[in-house]
Structure 1
Amino acid sequence: MSKFKKIIICIIALVLIIPLGVYGYVQYKLKDVTTGDTSYISKIEEVDGITNILLLGTDGRPEESAFRTDSMIILTIDNNNKDIKLTSLARDTYVEIPGKGKGKLNTAYFWGKEDLLFETIENEFGIGIDKYAIVDFTSLMDIIYALDGVELNVKESELEQLNKYIPECYKFCKNANKGELQLVEKAGKQTLNGYQALSYSRIRKGDSAINRDERQRKVINAIIKKYKDTSITKYPALIDAVVPYVTTNLNSNEILQLAYTGHNIISGKSLKKAIKEAEFPIIDDVHSKGGMYGKNFYGNTEWVWIYDENSTSVLRDFIYKDIPMNENEYLNDNSQISLKY
């Protein structure tokens, strides 16, 4: 377990795909959710119809009390425009962490858990967040088994690394339906089982952490797509797979309300239109640059993404105004670029 990264993809099954038909069962199972605590109150003025939840995956080991966030995705439920947004925040983004100085975004959680990470995100990007969810990656595998697998398009360039991680994921997988270990034999669109999909989510070598963020969002979309075609008789198994592994400061009423809103959004249009994706910083070698910049709080220089501090307006417009990041007018004029480091 110590070698695995905890991924938060499966929280989608809790806050988006709980159907009203099993309302009573959900109420019963929510007692098993681990209640997280935070004293942080967002300083960003709320926007009616917009709910931002920070989905976190950590690199922590069981014996550790402090660790970094390996994955950070802002899940936005936009009831104004009737869509759902998944915005990855690059873990290596170079930021100012209140009280600690400069460093990578993923270390804010190490120093001050959710409160300090919320404050850092608000100060740097102007996005208001005070709700979060952390889910153990074991739940991801169980959800996918409950769905009889998910369909993903595996690239030829991903195949070697995918199969490299499969034995580890298979060893940790405790699902009774995992069967004999199976590698993925060819590239292309295909159905992956629980430990294969987890392996796909872990790939980093061969391309970059930015591509890994994209793969994680692809798995989220694959889960939601498969859910839409799943019989209601399988809903209890999906809920059973998620709830024991969740830590969140959302209460049961908030979860059910989000589930109701999210379910209506994905039921009313195609997934391609209902779910929008983005990544920040804007990775284009203009509004961000990767390299050895500055120093962290230990005085060490490390590889980071420095970003155009004015491009945060593009991120805010995407989340709050539903303007696609690649269509934002700010990107047409490079005269205001100010790389922050």
Structure 2
Amino acid sequence: MVYLLLALFTLVQPISVASLSLSVPIPGLPPERIFGLPDRPFIVMVVGLDIRPTQEGPSRTDSILLLRVDADKDRAGILSIPRDTLMQVPLDEGGFTQDRVNTAFVYNWSPDDAGRAPAALGQTIEDNLGLAADYYIVFDQRGAARIIDAAGGVTVVVGEAFGQDNYSDDDVNVVPQYFAEGRQHLNGYQAVAYGRIREGSSDFDRIRRQQQVAEELVAQLSSPLNFWRLPGLGKAYRDVVDTNLSMRETAGLFALLKRIGTDRIVTRSLGDAAVPCLSCQAALLLLDPQEAARLISEAFDDDAAGQTAAQLLVAAGVTP
């Protein structure tokens, strides 16, 4: 599992000085064009995989986040998609099946083509919600822990104490994890566990905790006091992330997000539009089309996108 959408703020590579100097708009030339990013709103799909050290073959996605950046409005939106959401999923051999959105990686994984599974997940989201991802970022839970450690950890406020006696990130080594109520500073392993544990709660609670960690990480990495951490963050990012963003586009994305600022990033979760599928034989979630439309409109400041999503969900037959 991984959440850290704002591992996006570690997209500095070894060119942090350039990214900072070019975060100031040049008159008459939008900064997104400087770095080769689209001169329109664009979406980055951030995917966390639950991969175990002994595992071979494909893995299901544990977290899915869409980041939409609108440079003209100096605005960004984040939309979380619960992994158990029922959608029409394309199959590698052709055709479609109705299954959890997180199975797109399994059905379309290829050891010879790292981009095939992300493309299939992107196609799934576009077919069911009408939201087309321009870029993707993929990493696993251990990669997330490395990035958080390189950032110096994160500080969160735990609303209610919880934990898990048999927590493990590799199905071999058990390290009990407990989080007391109140303010806690977490290292990478602990932060991933904080966003990953579902015992005694739900997937919706996980998503909220993941977003909390992401927001705290963004705030920390946006601070000038952490400038000295950038080389280590860049190395961690390059070592653990699979992406179709070029180095130039990565620097542009970092510059845009720095310019927009955390107070202009709107966060929403489709978990708030999800209801259990009572007629399904497995624990699947269905999206209420009108609630989904509202959340998408709020996250991305785009009423048309919300209504398109509602229409596609109904057409796909994956609504209550």
Q: Find 1:293's aligned residue among 268, 271, 279.
A: 279
- Who is 1:259 aligned against? 254
2:43, 2:69 within 8 Å by CA — same for their partners in 1?
Answer: yes
- Who is 1:85 aligned against? 77
1:12, 1:220 within 8 Å by CA — same for their partners in 2?
Answer: no
Matched, 1:213 2:204: no
Q: Alpha-carbon deviation of 1:80?
A: 3.0
Pick closer, same or farther for the CA change 1:201–1:138 going to 2, 3 Å.
same
Pick closer, same or farther for the CA change 1:322–1:20 going to 2, 3 Å.
farther
Q: Find 1:75's aligned residue among 51, 67, 84.
A: 67
1:141, 1:195 within 8 Å by CA — same for their partners in 2?
Answer: yes
Equivalent residue runs for 1:295-314 within 5 Å:
301-314=281-294
**What letter matches 2:269 in structure 1?**
E
1:11, 1:246 within 8 Å by CA — same for their partners in 2?
Answer: no
What per-residue deviation string (whole Å, max 9, x for no partner) do you get for residues 168-190 of structure 1? Answer: 58x98xxxxxxxx9965732012
- Who is 1:225 aligned against? 219
Distance 1:142 1:72 in 2: 19
Cα RMSD, aligned residues only: 3.4
Matched, 1:57 2:43: no
Matched, 1:279 2:283: no
2:4, 2:211 within 8 Å by CA — same for their partners in 1?
Answer: no
Q: Find 2:107's aligned residue among 95, 102, 111.
A: 111
Equivalent residue runs for 1:81-160 within 5 Å:
81-98=73-90, 99-112=95-108, 113-158=117-162, 160=163
Pick closer, same or farther for the CA change 1:147–1:281 going to 2, 3 Å.
closer
Distance 2:290 2:199 in 1: 31
Structure 2, unmatched stretches of 5+, are 21-37, 109-116, 308-313
1:16, 1:263 within 8 Å by CA — same for their partners in 2?
Answer: no
Q: Find 1:317's aligned residue among 278, 297, 313.
A: 297
Question: What SS is found at the alignment partner of 1:292?
Answer: coil
Q: Alpha-carbon deviation of 1:140?
A: 2.6
2:222, 2:258 within 8 Å by CA — same for their partners in 1?
Answer: no
Distance 2:12 2:265 in 1: 11
What per-residue deviation string (whole Å, max 9, x for no partner) do you get for residues 299-331 of structure 1? Answer: xx21111122344432442344267x9xx99xx
Q: How many residues align?
A: 279
Equivalent residue runs for 1:15-54 within 5 Å:
15=11, 20-21=16-17, 49-54=40-45
Structure 1, unmatched stretches of 5+, are 25-46, 173-180, 295-300, 330-335
Distance 2:265 2:302 in 1: 11
TM-score (norm 1): 0.71
TM-score (norm 2): 0.75
1:22, 1:235 within 8 Å by CA — same for their partners in 2?
Answer: no
1:17, 1:259 within 8 Å by CA — same for their partners in 2?
Answer: no
1:15, 1:262 within 8 Å by CA — same for their partners in 2?
Answer: no
What per-residue deviation string (whole Å, max 9, x for no partner) do you get for residues 143-165 of structure 1? Answer: 3333332110113342x23x753
Quick one: percent identity of the two aligned structures?
A: 25
What per-residue deviation string (whole Å, max 9, x for no partner) do you get for residues 45-97 of structure 1? Answer: xx953121111112344543222111101112222332322211011111122
**What letter matches 2:267 in structure 1?**
E
What per-residue deviation string (whole Å, max 9, x for no partner) do you get for residues 232-288 of structure 1? Answer: 22211221222111101111221111111111112xxxx3x22211111533xxxx4
Pick closer, same or farther for the CA change 1:143–1:61 going to 2, 3 Å.
closer
**What letter matches 1:237 in structure 2?**
G
Pick closer, same or farther for the CA change 1:104–1:314 going to 2, 3 Å.
same
